[in-house]
Amino acid sequence: MSRTAKLAGLPLGLAGRTAVGLGKRLGGRSGEIIAQEIQQRTADQLFRVLGELKGGAMKLGQALSIFEAALPPELAGPYRATLTKLQESAPPLPAATVHRVLAADLGPDWRARFTSFEDDAAAAASIGQVHRAVWTDGRRVAVKIQYPGAGKALINDFTQLSRLGRLFGLLMPGLEVKPLLDELRDRVAEELDYGMEAAAQRGFARAYAGDPDIYVPDVVAESEHVLVTEWMDGTPLSKVISGGTQEQRSRAGILLTRFLFSGPARAGLLHADPHPGNFRLLDDGRLGVLDFGAVDRLPEGLPLIFGRLLRIMHDPAPDIVSVERELRAYGFLRPGIAVDLDALRAFLAPLAEPSAVDSFKFSREWMRAESSRVTEASSANIARKFNVPPSYVLIHRVSTAGIGVLCQLECEGAFRAEVLRWVPGYADGDSPETPLAEPAPVS
């Protein structure tokens, strides 16, 4: 009831702010300034409430990074900080509850499947937690257990959130909100299905079996609320970011880029949750990958539009009219949404920069400059006029989050070679046969 009340209060807040704004307009204040004030206050309340709730609301909040493009830093920053704090402080289930879930899913003799099982959680997140254990054949395993009631809470949250389309539309006028929310609901709900997660992990494990640079642990067993996979050691990417050598950070960056771009081509799958907690730099130099709950299924590989846009934007004098035509054809610009072509060129040019040169260095300074440009709270801001077609939701999530991780790593390397090898559409609709540069040796 408390969760429902918090979510239900969001439209009421918008109604109140709109009424106040009408009064100010009648008093002679600028309509544009008032609209901006309403937008900022709505975003503040929306993201604050989503950040306070766990389950579906919090996961939707994570997925809604697309709306941060419409927010000034003073609003987006605290929201991201709230989500991070919640993820890091998720309270673990008591041992008795863990045992009940295991007995219900694996049977009353569940202990017979393990040589040992640690009751204390090794990690906890929004809808589940992970325990260390040893399988009967001696393999060290990770046992992922879903919180009881997580599915019901998630579904209830999305029922409430689906009624808030007007709020999201206010933040980004170019966005077609309802189908986007429907897609987000379906994708986030998939993270509850451990059978789908197991199938995705097996698909990645097959595709990268024996790979000298990428490692995906095998699935050992799964049920409705329990997923058992091989345990993986290694240095978390967060520690590489905070204390790794330049060689380690650059190697991790190249391998992360290679994994994200090659997944659709090699496995027909895109890992859609690229945050540092899901990756490890192994002692042998490989990049280990975890958590396949959020996966985009792309049996035909990445859409051609990305390669086509890069090819045009890499031209010294890009044909921005063709760029606009491509964006409209794929639904990124809706009918009736007008954009200034010079502003469009200025907005897109830096996005193509990392793959326009043979070697590029990602940095926090570059990211801050890009974020400042994109989050400019102005009605003329190009970012606010873009639409995200439902089928591109997870691809957008990967691109934005992935670039963020690369900038945290402050890595340097031949990212262009990775993009040209794995992104179709760059050369007449096909990937050019560009030789891959070797990643930096592990320190």
- In this structure, what are the phi and psi dihedrals at residue 143, rounded to the nearest 5 degrees? -110, 110
Query: Of 160, 190, 220, at which residue does a domain stop?
Result: 190
Give the count of domains, the chain. Answer: 2
- Three-state SS sequence of 116-127: EECCCCCEECCC
Percent over 70 (pLDDT), the chain: 67
- Per-residue confidence at 108, pLDDT binned at 50, 70, 90? very high
8 A C-beta contact, residue 174 and residue 384: yes
Instruction: Quote the CA–CA distance of 266 and 111 in Å, as a whole number.
Output: 37
**Domain identity same for 242 and 303:** yes
Reported as a single tens digit per residue, the pLDDT across 316-352 is: 889 999 999 999 999 999 888 888 898 888 888 888 9
- The mean pLDDT of the chain is 78
Which residue type occupies 290? L
H helices of 191-292, in order, are: 194-207, 237-243, 246-267
More confident residue, 389 or 8: 389
In sequence order, what DSSP letters do the residues of 185-207 get, joined into one string?
Answer: HHHHHHTT-HHHHHHHHHHHHHH
The residue range of the domain holding 394 is 235-443
Q: Note whether 382 and 246 are same-domain residues.
A: yes
> Could you tell me whether strands 219-222 and 226-230 are parallel, antiparallel, or unpaired per DSSP bridges?
antiparallel
DSSP letter for 336, please.
Answer: T
Global pTM?
0.78
Q: Is residue 111 in a domain?
A: no
Residues 18 and 75 in one domain: yes
In the chain, what percentage of residues exceed pLDDT 90? Answer: 45
Does 180 share its domain with 307? no
Task: Report the pLDDT averaged over residues 49-68.
Answer: 50
- Residues 249 and 164 placed together within one structural domain of the fold: no
Query: Is the model more confident about 319 or about 373?
Result: 319
* Cβ–Cβ < 8 Å for 113, 221: yes
CA distance 103 to 106: 5
Confidence at residue 46, expressed as pLDDT on a 0 to 100 scale: 58
Looking at residue 49, its pLDDT comes to 57
Domain assignment present for 312: yes
For 376-401, the pLDDT digits (tens) are 545 457 777 888 888 888 898 888 88
Which position has the higher pLDDT, 436 or 242?
Answer: 242
Token digits of residue 315:
């031209």
Residue 257's pLDDT is 97
pLDDT digits (tens, 9 = 90+) for 160-201: 666 665 656 655 666 676 777 777 777 777 888 999 999 999
Please, are residues 252 and 409 in contact by the beta-carbon 8 Å criterion? yes
22 pLDDT above the threshold of 60:
no
Give dist(CA 301, CA 265) in Å, integer: 5
Q: How far apart are the first and last CA of the chain?
A: 53
252 and 361 assigned to the same domain: yes
